[in-house]
């Protein structure tokens, strides 16, 4: 029997001397896949009123800058497993139209590697994370793409890049070695044994060309795969010293109306990370390696994958260009789960050195556009942009958290409040917290140690994302229906370093102390 | 001790309520491989007196129509394992000449996918069953061929097909995923494990493009392969739910003059089918699958594979175009075995949903041609054409057969008479029977149940293929030396539904009741 | 405790009736890899004062003829595992510049298969041993290269060869199926299981085109590989009947100044050969094969692989054309070890039917060149050229050798003198001997049986390579600092067939009796 008191409570204690890890700026990566309208009529729409000479939507560029995304994973995703990178370079009128199996679409190839690199230049401050196709292709093509992208000049492919307008190499540092190769839905999916063999030869070859590459090997495509764990063990056993990251992917949605478990999705993500970290550690020990492998959580989000909008077109003659696909519209509740996932990533910043919000525009995305029309922010935009702004460059502090429990069908009793604190480079302290309870607000107390107080504890501000209607959403016609609001319940005792405030049921809050 | 009485006897009882299965019209498929003169100077011979504007021999088209073959497997066979499908499309004068390892020949590529499709259109009523090359090639090329063949338009490869003259897609339903990949003679042959991995990714990929494809996975290339059974188990374990058919191939010939066993070849084919069916059932049970897999017996015939005519040319400089290869000339005895194989396929119509007589013209074929000269029917033409005509669209009835035994060195004592009955859509009943005895005629009695009698039992005709010289053959200069003749021993008792007739030693007979 | 007497002693007894094997002329093969300056400014340097119309250096051709090398392995080595053979054919101005991962260089492809074949024609009497790329490539490309090289004409690729100036096929007999595929440094390196599967399909396919090819399967890339032995067993189990040779590679250098062990390197090579031979025999027995597989020792030499000169350039932008790489300058001591390796190969002539001195020019080579300048002989040139001249066409006699022992840290006590005798086709007898001792000369007695004496025992000459400075070398400016000298200690007793002479410490000697 679980009683629901009128008010839950939680306490977070942090101290300057107890750190988890520096926040890798790659934690705030995102993902642009050739899927639906992420590229076409998303970031790229020649003829749009705001489009520049390259066909890039300026309104979207502005929102991407505001979002604060860093590393951008490209071009897939499932898409990459049938992709021929050379289709997307050279004169646009000679680029072939191809079928995309992953999303039952026609790929016009009007946007490719050069366009992506140029777009990132215009956004500014971002980094490209490129994926190679290990579905229909293998070593030779991966090497060719790397030569095309990263060799300054003097060879056939690097000179082709230069002739195609990029005099300097793209100098791409981070590479995904295929995508979700364990998934039966993946074109050319493989056994762990076969993928391990292939990826070790591809990783070794790519390093012979560019030794400092940071390579991401495919982990399981979800925590729930039947081969989870065994896959990681087999693949890492073959490729451990050759790679820098193993990937994790996770998407969350309510199942059968179970909102309580949905709101506690961070519990699953936390367990997922810890399971993969354990496999990494065990492999490192077994191989007696000196090398460290980290986690690239390069697909994560709330995704209503059962919904009509996530269905591909059907039929042998139905391969649309840039269809409406996966255009989930996010509620307040979704944004709270989303915020919790970010808190979970931060709490595991010692193991998770990169993460990509999937995806950036239109496709399960924080930014939505209308073709020919406006662009706007979804509810999930705010937890991302605020966390990225406050946490980038900071250090995660060891969180001593105690909280009232809430009951969930899927995870049992879990912390009603999840929270993490980040110390900024300037000495400020930011705390991110969610109240996972469906119906009960929580009294939340934060105590920061003396060292922190001396630098940070002068002023406190808090912003909360919440709505009495947890299904409230932003849409084209109500673009600002949901936005974060100042939390006016903050009480601050500067002497003891204690902040108290109320977290409404189903809410996300950022507290900034400076 | 086996006595040889002066007359054997056999009885076949059928009843309307006891059915095996409907006869799939694909049971009457055949096979056109780029081998010897099957294509060149077989179905395709520009300059031949009967050739049409496309270079197709009209005399052959007429015989193919008469033969009644349905699905045509193409373009191999062993040939496909080194084939590059794109060599055979586009302007003929730009098509490359290639070496064919399988038959030590030069392939001019003057005939390819477009020509095959157009030829089938002209024959009328046939279906193309296309094979992909999994010997020297893999997933990407299989996908490309499927796009070229089946996608209506709007992509690079489908538009190339249209530019090459086929505005509408070929819409090929049935695909062979490689050929005899277990055979050491096969270019790029593989272990069951490796083929299973490859074929599951190819099947999954092709289905992503065209979900309703009917896919044939390679079974063992003969019943006698050392890996028979284990191969099927391993491959099906990896690909069961992704495929619709597993292939069987069988060729029969007398060994060391043992005609008795040769005449009982149907016994081996029957055992082969039952063995593969058992493996399918066991795999389905183990995987708890709801999916059914059937047998495509896509190579079967009498073949004197030890004969001089079956030898490839030798020598690094000796790669002839369309050489005389495998041009077996069939005797009456061969046609009787051939007819028995057809009876065996029909008796297993519940498991065998497709079969391909290998091959159609010149190469171990029912139809022979002379370059620049005539085309004629081999002895085997008749059992095929008559069975196809009478059984197509019908339903195989459960055959209760009792027969005198004949003794064979290879199979021990076997039924001297083999027979099956098919109920036509119009209520007619056709019975196909062989007398396997080398020296003794058989008194054959057919009893049909009352239900059948009411619709079918009015008139009875029987045709028998037989000759006192069991080695009698049809040749260019004696094209009609052997033809079926009316069997004048038929006695019909309409009231009891009983037909009696004599089957000469080494004979094939069709009985038609209407 | 090992005493060092003032003089060691050794005795070699040979008899006409006791033979090891005929000397395969392929034992005197060498190796031209696209590595450093072996090709460019080595054998090929348009503009050099001695260059002919094809750009081949005549001074180098003269030295290669004098060296007496037979079969030339080409184009790698590690280089081949990323090589696209078609880059190196066709008009030179259209050939692509490519990166070479193996040696961190730029390959201009100005020299390719046609140039190699034409160069060998000019040298005269040599044979090309071609390697196919099984790193980034597989079956289809291997078949294409074979068609291009060996098919007389009438097909796309053979006609391309003819159009490119080679009307007649190159008719290459000996092919390496990849290079060192067990090595983690090798582009596309594979497990024994995967390489075995691949190589068996490539070997079978190539034989379908050209049945008489002699195929070399990759053995371990050194005796010291952790997978040595197991690799050979797995690979041969899959491909035994399809191949003719298994490769061995070995390089020797002093480690930590241990010259005593270095001088006994032949002991290791001998053990390596015997280990591989045992695996061949065991596999043959297990498979009940009638087929014989021999050893192709297709990389061997002294190589200071730890030296600065062996390092590849580094850096993403640093891919030089024909850099100075592996340009080891050989001392007298190196030449003595080198001579001992040749003696070891001869002693195993029953198992080693081919060997390639790695390499021919500039790269750990007997011949050095200066771009635009002279070419000269290294110390190792002499043991090779003299052994090749005297032993080619002969028969190795069973050597009954007894010798004082010398102590080595690595191999324990070993024969101080190693020696072998070869009977020439003309009845002459040649003996090759090294004194491995660092400080003590040896009294060496050779006794030849009566049969030999009657034909050979008339005159005796001996040449010794030695210098009081065991580090003495030949350089551009002292090209003849080290050369063999007549050994004036020879005493010959024609009646008893006994030759006696003194072998200085650290020396190599050839004795010729006629």
Chains that touch A (3 or more CB pairs under 8 A): B, C
Write out the residues of chain A at the interface with chain B, using a CB-CB cutoff of 8 A.
82, 96-99, 101-102, 104, 106, 135-137, 184-185, 187-191, 194, 314, 316-317, 319
Q: Please tell me the distance from the alpha carbon of residue C285 to that of residue B349, in angstroms, as a whole number.
A: 47
As a whole number of angstroms, the distance between CA B105 and CA C158 comes to: 14
> How many Å apart are CA C320 and CA A27, to the nearest integer?
38
Tell me what pLDDT residue A514 has: 85
Question: Which pLDDT belongs to residue C226?
Answer: 94
The segments of chain A whose pLDDT lies below 70 read 1-5, 454-457
- Cα–Cα distance for residue pair B454/B450, rounded to 1 Å: 6
Q: Do B205 and A194 touch (CB under 8 A)?
A: no
For residue C241, what is the nearest residue in chain B, using CA coordinates? B184
Q: Which chain C residues are closer than 8 Å to B189 by Cβ? A: 201, 204
* Angstroms from A32 CA to nearest CA on chain C: 27
Measured at the CA of C80, the angle between CA C78 and CA C84, to 5 degrees, comes to 150
Cα dihedral C387/C391/C393/C395 (nearest 10): -150
Q: Which residues of B touch C211 (CB under 8 A)?
A: 314
Rounded to whole angstroms, the Cα distance separating A129 from B397 reads 64
Question: What pairs with residue B504 in β-bridges?
Answer: none
Residue B1's pLDDT band (cuts 50, 70, 90): very low
Active site residue: B45, B115, B299, B327, which one?
B299
Catalytic residue (choose from C45, C180, C232, C327): C180
CB contact under 8 A, A97 and B151: no
**The pLDDT value given to residue A93:** 97
Contact C147, C90 (CB under 8 A): no
A197: chain C residues, CB-CB within 8 Å: 190-191, 194
Closest-CA distance, A195 to chain B, in angstroms, reads: 11
User: How many residue pairs from chains B and C have C-beta atoms closer than 8 A?
Assistant: 56
* Mean pLDDT, rounded, of chain C: 95
Our CA-based measurement puts residue A179 at a distance from the nearest CA of chain B, in whole angstroms, of: 15
- Strand, helix or coil at C131? strand
* Rounded-to-10 torsion of CA C210, C216, C217, C218: -150
- Of the pLDDT bands very low, low, confident and very high (cuts 50, 70, 90), residue C88 is very high
- Cis status, amide bond into B385, omega within 30 of 0: no
Q: How far is it, in rounded angstroms, from Cα B238 to Cα A191?
A: 11
Q: What distance in Å separates the CA atoms of residue B456 and residue B513, rounded to the nearest whole number?
A: 6
**How would you classify the pairing of strands B214-217 and B174-177?**
parallel
Residue B355 contacts residue B363 (beta carbons within 8 Å): no
Inter-chain touch B143–A135, beta carbons under 8 Å: no
> Which residue of C96, C187, C316 is in closest CB contact with A210?
C316
Please state, for a pLDDT cut of 70, what percent of chain C lies above it.
Answer: 98
Q: Which residues of A touch B142 (CB under 8 A)?
A: none
Q: Which residues contact B183 (CB under 8 A, 6 or more apart)?
A: B189, B221, B225
Least CB-CB distance to B99: which of C140, C209, C211? C209
Least confident span in B120-124, B213-217, B448-452, C289-293: B448-452
Contact across the interface for C96 and A147, Cβ inside 8 Å = no
Distance from CA of A151 to the nearest CA of C (A): 6
Instruction: Give the integer Cα–Cα distance in Å for A423 and A349.
Output: 13
pLDDT digits (tens, 9 = 90+) for B39-85: 999 999 999 999 999 999 999 999 999 999 999 999 999 999 999 99
Least CA distance to C205: which residue of chain B?
Answer: B187
Give Cα separations from C308 to A60, C185, C238, C311, C326 (angstroms): 53, 18, 40, 6, 8
* Other chains touching C, judged by 3 or more CB pairs under 8 Å: A, B
- pLDDT average, residue stretch C311-320: 89
What is the number of H-type helices and E-type strands within chain A? 11, 26
DSSP-derived 3-state class of residue C445: strand
Q: Which residues of chain A have a Cβ shorter than 8 Å from any chain C Cβ?
A: 139-140, 143, 147, 150-152, 154-156, 159, 169, 197, 201, 204-205, 208-211
Contacts of A156 in chain C (CB under 8 A): 96-98
Amino acid B458: pLDDT: 73
Tokens of C331: 């001392």
* Residue among B82, B106, B136 whose CB faces C155 most closely: B106
Which phi and psi angles does B321 have, rounded to 5°? Answer: -90, 125
Nearest CA in chain A to B238: A191
Q: State how far the alpha carbon of C207 is from the alpha carbons of A263, B372, C204, C449, in Å.
A: 64, 35, 5, 45
> What is d(CA A303, CA A310) in angstroms, rounded to the nearest whole number?
9
pLDDT at C220 over 70: yes
Count the neighbouring beta carbons within 10 Å of the beta carbon of residue A69. 24
The length of chain C, given as a count of residues: 514
Please give the residue of chain A at the shortest CA–CA distance from C191.
A197
Q: Which residues have C-beta within 8 Å of that of residue A69, sequence separation ≥ 6?
A: A28, A29, A30, A126, A357, A360, A384, A388
User: Of C45, C86, C107, C299, which residue is the catalytic one?
Assistant: C299
pTM, two decimal places: 0.94
Of B458, B473, B466, B471, give the one whose Cα is nearest residue B489.
B466
Q: Quick check: B113 and B85 in contact, CB under 8 A?
A: yes
Residue with tokens 């399809």: C242
pLDDT at C495: 81
- B281 Cβ contact partners less than 8 Å away, ≥ 6 residues apart: none
The string of pLDDT tens digits covering residues C395-451 is: 999 999 999 999 999 999 999 999 999 999 888 999 999 999 999 999 999 998 877
Cα separation, B143 vs B192, in Å, equals 22
Helices assigned H by DSSP within C24-68: 58-67
Q: What is the pLDDT of residues B317-344, one digit of tens each?
A: 899 999 999 999 999 999 999 999 999 9
Q: What is the rounded distance in angstroms from the CA atom of residue A286 to the CA atom of residue A280?
A: 10
Judging by beta carbons within 10 Å of its beta carbon (0-12, 13-18, 19+), is residue C471 exposed, middle or buried?
exposed
| Chain C residue numbers touching B320 (CB-CB < 8 A) | none
Which chain C residues are Cβ-neighbours of B136 within 8 angstroms? 139-140, 143, 205
- Which candidate, A149, A144, A127, places its Cα nearest to that of A24? A127
Contacts of A482 (CB under 8 A, 6+ apart): A332, A335, A379, A465, A467, A472, A473, A474
Q: Report how far residue B442's alpha carbon sits from residue B434's, in angstroms, rounded to the nearest whole number.
A: 10
H or E segment to which residue A84 belongs: none
Q: For B368-377, write each residue's pLDDT tens digit.
A: 999 999 999 9
pLDDT at A481: 97
Which residues, in sequence order, are CB contacts of A467 under 8 Å at separation 6+?
A: A332, A482
In the DSSP assignment, the letter for residue C40 is: B
- Is the CB of residue C296 less than 8 Å from the CB of residue C246? yes
Partner-chain residue, chosen from C98, C101, C104, that has the shortest CB–CB distance to A205: C101
B497 band by pLDDT with thresholds 50, 70 and 90: confident
Residues 6+ apart with CB under 8 A from A454: none
Residues of chain C with pLDDT > 90: what percent?
A: 91
* Catalytic residue, candidates B180, B214, B232, B327: B180
Per-residue model confidence (pLDDT) at position B456: 58
Q: Using CB atoms, which residue from B155, B205, B208 is nearest to A97? A: B155
CB pairs under 8 A between A and C: 56
Which pLDDT belongs to residue B125? Answer: 82
- At residue A261, φ and ψ (nearest 5 deg) are -70, -40
Please report the sign of the dihedral spanned by the C-alpha atoms of residue A131, residue A137, residue A139, residue A141. negative
Q: Which residue of C has its CA nearest to B103?
A: C208
- The number of beta carbons lying within 10 Å of the beta carbon of residue C481 is 14
Q: Which residues pair with A408 in a beta bridge?
A: A412
User: Can you list the domains of chain C with their CATH numbers?
Assistant: 8-17+398-513 (2.60.40.1180), 24-392 (3.20.20.80)
| The pair of three-digit structure tokens given for residue C485, joined into one six-digit string | 């000298």
- CA of C96: which chain A residue's CA is closest? A156
User: How many Å apart are CA C308 and CA C329, to the nearest integer?
Assistant: 13
Q: What is the mean pLDDT of residues C74-93?
A: 97
Q: What is the pLDDT of residues C329-352, one digit of tens each?
A: 999 999 999 999 999 999 999 999
Q: Count CB atoms within 10 A of the CB of residue B252.
A: 24
pLDDT band per the 50, 70, 90 thresholds, residue B455: low
C361-376 pLDDT tens trace: 999 999 999 999 999 9
For testing contact with chain B, the best of C138, C149, C209, C240 (most B CBs within 10 A): C209
Nearest chain C Cα distance for residue B140, angstroms: 14
Yes or no, beta carbons of B205 and A106 under 8 Å apart: no
* B489 vs B507: CA distance, rounded Å: 14
Q: Is the pLDDT of residue B315 over 90?
A: no
Q: Is C130 designated active site?
A: no
Question: Which candidate, B198, B195, B83, B85, places its Cα nearest to that of B150?
Answer: B85
CB B129 within 8 A of CB B172: yes
Residue C307: pLDDT band with limits 50, 70, 90: confident
- Catalytic, B180? Answer yes
Residue B452 has pLDDT above 90, yes or no: no
In angstroms, rounded to a whole number, what is the distance separating the alpha carbons of residues B503 and B434? 7
Is C187 strand, coil or helix?
coil
- Taking the C-alpha atoms of residue B32 and residue C390, their distance in angstroms, rounded to an integer, is 61
Is the separation of the CB atoms in A335 and A377 below 8 Å?
Answer: no
Nearest by CB to B101, from C154, C159, C205: name it.
C205
Is B495 a residue whose pLDDT tops 90?
no
Active-site residue list of A: 180, 299
Do residue C97 and residue A152 have CB atoms under 8 angstroms apart?
no
Cβ of B316 and C139 within 8 Å? no
Chain A residues with beta carbon closer than 8 angstroms to that of C106:
154-155
The pLDDT assigned to A426 comes to 87
Interchain pair A188, B139: CB under 8 A: yes
DSSP per-residue letters across C83-129: --GGGGSS-GGGPPPEEETTTTEEE--SS-HHHHHHHHHHH-S-EEE
Q: Please tell me the number of Cα atoms within 13 Å of B444 on its side-chain side.
A: 33
> Hey, how many other C-beta atoms are within 10 angstroms of the C-beta on A241?
15
The tokens of C281 are what?
């025999």
- CB within 8 Å: C316 and A151: yes
With CA atoms as reference, the chain A residue closest to B147 would be: A99
């Amino acid at each position: 029997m679980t009683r629901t008191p009128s008010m839950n409570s939680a306490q977070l204690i942090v101290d300057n001397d107890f750190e988890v890890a520096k926040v890798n700026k790659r934690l705030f990566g995102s993902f642009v896949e050739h899927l639906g309208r992420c590229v076409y009529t998303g970031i790229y729409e020649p003829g749009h009123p705001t489009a520049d000479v390259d066909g890039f939507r300026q309104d979207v560029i502005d929102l991407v800058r505001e979002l604060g995304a860093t590393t951008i994973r490209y071009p897939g995703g499932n898409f990459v497993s049938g992709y021929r990178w050379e289709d997307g370079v050279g004169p646009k009128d000679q680029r072939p139209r191809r079928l995309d199996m992953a999303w039952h679409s026609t790929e016009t190839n009007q946007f490719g590697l050069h366009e992506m690199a140029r777009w990132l230049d215009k956004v500014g401050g971002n980094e490209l994370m490129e994926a190679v196709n290990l579905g229909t292709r293998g070593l030779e093509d991966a090497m060719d793409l790397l030569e095309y992208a990263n060799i300054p000049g003097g060879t056939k492919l690097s000179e082709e890049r230069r002739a195609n307008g990029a005099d300097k190499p793209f100098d791409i540092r981070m590479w995904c070695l295929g995508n979700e190769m364990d998934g039966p839905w993946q074109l050319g999916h493989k056994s762990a044994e076969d993928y391990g063999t292939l990826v070790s030869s591809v990783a070794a070859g790519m390093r012979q060309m560019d030794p400092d590459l940071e390579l991401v090997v495919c982990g399981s495509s979800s925590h729930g795969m039947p081969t989870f764990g065994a896959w990681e063990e087999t693949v890492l056993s073959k490729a451990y010293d050759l790679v820098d990251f193993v990937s994790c992917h996770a998407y969350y949605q309510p199942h059968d109306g179970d909102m309580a478990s949905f709101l506690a999705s961070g519990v699953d993500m936390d367990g997922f990370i810890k399971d993969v970290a354990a496999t990494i550690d065990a492999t490192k020990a077994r191989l007696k390696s000196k090398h460290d492998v980290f986690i690239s959580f390069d697909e994560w989000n709330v995704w209503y994958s059962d919904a009509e909008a996530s269905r591909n077109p059907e039929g042998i003659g139905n391969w649309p260009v840039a269809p409406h696909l996966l255009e989930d519209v996010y509620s307040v509740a979704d944004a709270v789960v989303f915020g919790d996932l970010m808190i979970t990533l931060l709490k595991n910043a010692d193991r998770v050195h990169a993460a990509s919000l999937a995806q950036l525009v239109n496709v399960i995305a924080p930014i939505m556009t209308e073709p020919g029309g406006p662009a706007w922010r979804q509810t999930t935009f705010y937890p991302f942009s605020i966390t990225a702004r406050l946490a980038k460059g900071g250090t995660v502090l060891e969180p001593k958290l105690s909280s009232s429990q809430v009951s969930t069908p899927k995870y049992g009793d879990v912390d009603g409040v999840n929270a993490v604190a980040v110390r900024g480079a300037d000495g400020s302290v930011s705390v991110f917290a969610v109240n996972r309870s469906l119906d009960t607000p929580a009294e939340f107390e934060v105590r920061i140690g003396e060292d922190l107080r001396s630098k940070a504890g002068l002023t406190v501000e808090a912003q909360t994302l919440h709505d009495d209607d947890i299904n409230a959403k932003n849409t084209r016609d109500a673009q600002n229906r949901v936005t974060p609001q100042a939390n006016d319940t903050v009480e601050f005792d500067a002497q003891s370093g204690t902040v108290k405030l109320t977290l409404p049921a189903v809410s996300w809050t950022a507290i900034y102390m400076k």
